Structure 1
């Protein structure tokens, strides 16, 4: 839940590619997250065989809580708030670049 932006909305197969895992793994995890009310899966209007995954309001809250715990109990906890925000921006940029197929990331912020 923490490796994708909270506004993420994509097909399960694309999510698997973005995460670098097998689609069956995403399906298994999505089943559990949906049971807990953390995500929704909707039929993709462009391809009725595909499902679109999206975080619910509760899912966004849990994602935020997990992120907070990870920052306070992780090696980055010693970073200043400014450094943590910068790191977060860079990691988000890296994840987006990976899903777009980019091989190089630069910090221009």
Structure 2
């Protein structure tokens, strides 16, 4: 999963190690998950606990990603800038699918 912000694709490309739908975003749910024997539950509890002050209560889809140094984590040589401008030139409006190979060989978003 790559991230686009500030008119560029960021160089860190983590792998998704776990995904969970419909996670209740409350302190009570974090406490319940923290007490679980499941390591993914405990990791999600940590994410909720860290962000509950800035995120509103609700239900969210959660992705747990690899950190730098993990064998499945990739890093591009540099960020890929988006140089096009003007009406209709946006690179991403919601989500976009590009192969890892394409990301690793591109120098700008125009190469994608």
> Please, what TM-score do these two structures have when normalized by structure 2?
0.25
Bigger Rg, structure 1 or 2: 2
Structure showing the higher strand proportion among its residues? 2
Q: Whose relative contact order is higher, 1 or 2, with alpha carbons under 8 Å and at least 6 apart? A: 2
> Please, what TM-score do these two structures have when normalized by structure 1?
0.26
